[in-house]
Amino acid sequence: MNKKNEAITDMNVDFAQWYTDVVKKSELIDYSPVRGCVILRPYGYGIWELIQKQLDAMFKEGGHENVYMPMFLPKSLLQKEADHVEGFAPEVLTITHAGDEELVDPLCIRPTSEVLFCEHFSNTIQSYRDLPKLYNQWCSVVRWEKTTRPFLRTTEFLWQEGHTAHASEEEAQKEAKTMLDVYTDFFENVLAIPVIRGRKSEKEKFAGAVTTYTIESMMHDGKALQSGTTHYLGDGFAKAFDITFTDKENKLTHVHQTSWGVSTRMIGGIIMVHGDNNGLVLPPKIAPIQVAIIPIAQNKEGVLEAVTNLHEEIKSQFRVKLDISDKTPGFKFSEYEMKGVPLRVELGPKDIEAGNAVLVRRDNGEKKVVSLSNIEEEIEKTLEEIQQGLYNNAKEAKEAKTYSVATLQQFEEVITQKPGFIKAMWCESGECEEKIKKDFSATIRCLPYEQEIIGDTCVCCGEKAEMQAIFARAY
């Protein structure tokens, strides 16, 4: 697709503005009168519903159950785990008055719900028979942010938060890693976004966690997006909240916990990984409309009947939109391109006469004439090709923008001239991590599972290093 939709900024000229244009023009969101909060319009919320449905099934497959906790946390409760409150306090909205009544214990709006789950676990777990507890909730959380961008960082955002309690460290660690695998599977096979799995450095881990695992993905502009995290919380929360159980040897023991979450931020990732100069490009598995049927010369005899029949025929198998509005076909083409609909079916008098239809792929613009007699199989096959093609393209782009560097000088060259992921050795000192952050605005995205030992000295200080890290600038 060489042409460019004039309604949006060129992504290679101003990527940030392109992003803003796309989220608005494709009708994913509208700005709201509340600072830092957006409205998810039907098309944007439709993507979220498809994400929810598929992820929720994966969670339940693993034995997790959904619950709902209050959106408020008493301030006193939030303060129980010291690291946790320190991490979140600056972002928390607090309610001191309800109507005319002054609250003795002010209420915080949840920035995350560890403390409520802990309190509930403390009340409901007595014996090893009550374990594990595998809970999840779908809700919104609130973090007061200085600068916000639709999907990537908003004051209120939708997410899921998993909270589990286990009898042993081993089991809880396994849960944290398994859920990272579930996220990886979902990103790669549903969102068509390749990820790097790893753990966070001490500096970057979740407030209150022993270990934070993360999946990091690369956006079109080479920047990283932290896409999902899982945390092994150890027994720190259990000690602060007195969550104990009687084990099989009749000994009172603290549980080990995990928490994990992904959010509407994923939609920002979809936009920035797959989008192009004509707007959004959606992977078929999360596209609210998978197929747009557009009649050509719809006033000619037989055309409306043919598109209506086709719609009836395929609508139970795919998510289909038949557009018989009085707009021109060209106008409709741009509209569904902007919305990233994976496949367009054109049907005009000549096609009908020949018993054919034209399929046009959103991802690469490829046109294909297919027989109406086996159009369902053709659509199915093409949607699968698009899904796989988007993943392959994203993977190639990520690999092309991943660089191995050995010295600070090389680091500087790459980060300033070729934005992407930097593989480098790291001595594991906070000082080197901090220096790189300060000098280059780049952070350690993760210490990848798949270690590629490309040297034996730290990229920053030159001392001995045994750990390979991924550095990048990030959203």
Binding site for a copy of itself (CB under 8 A): 30, 32-34, 37-42, 45-46, 48-49, 65-74, 77, 90-99, 101, 107, 109, 116, 119-120, 123-124, 135, 139-140, 142, 144, 155-156, 158
Q: How far is the CB of 120 from a copy of itself (least distance, A)?
A: 6
- Quick count: other Cβ atoms within 10 Å of Cβ 421? 25
User: How do strand 320-322 and strand 211-218 relate by DSSP bridges?
Assistant: unpaired
Q: How far is the CB of 279 from a copy of itself (least distance, A)?
A: 19
Output 6 or 100, the one with its CB closest to a copy of itself: 100
Q: How far is the CB of 39 from a copy of itself (least distance, A)?
A: 6
Beta bridge mates, 107: 74, 95
Q: How far is the CB of 298 from a copy of itself (least distance, A)?
A: 17
Closest CA to 443 of 401, 411, 418: 411
Token reading at 469: 């890290």
Output 19 or 48, the one with its CB closest to a copy of itself: 48
Give 137's contacts (C-beta < 8 A, 6+ positions apart). Answer: 66, 67, 68, 69, 113, 160, 161, 163
Distance of alpha carbon 147 from alpha carbon 154, whole angstroms:
8
Q: How far is the CB of 447 from a copy of itself (least distance, A)?
A: 32
CA distances from 100 to 70, 97, 103, 338 (A): 22, 7, 10, 49
Place of tokens 């959904």: 66
Distance of alpha carbon 265 from alpha carbon 157, whole angstroms:
8
Output 39 or 58, the one with its CB closest to a copy of itself: 39
Give 370's contacts (C-beta < 8 A, 6+ positions apart). Answer: 356, 357, 358, 359, 378
Distance of alpha carbon 443 from alpha carbon 438, whole angstroms:
9
Distance of alpha carbon 415 from alpha carbon 126, whole angstroms:
53
Q: How far is the CB of 267 from a copy of itself (least distance, A)?
A: 12
CA distances from 262 to 34, 53, 140, 251, 267 (A): 23, 14, 11, 36, 11
Output 259 or 382, the one with its CB closest to a copy of itself: 259
Output 30 or 396, the one with its CB closest to a copy of itself: 30
Output 107 or 190, the one with its CB closest to a copy of itself: 107
Q: How far is the CB of 269 from a copy of itself (least distance, A)?
A: 18
Q: How far is the CB of 251 from a copy of itself (least distance, A)?
A: 20
Output 33 or 355, the one with its CB closest to a copy of itself: 33
Closest CA to 159 of 143, 172, 146: 143
Output 120 or 401, the one with its CB closest to a copy of itself: 120
Output 120 or 361, the one with its CB closest to a copy of itself: 120
Residue 306's identity, in one-letter code, is: A
Q: How far is the CB of 96 from a copy of itself (least distance, A)?
A: 7
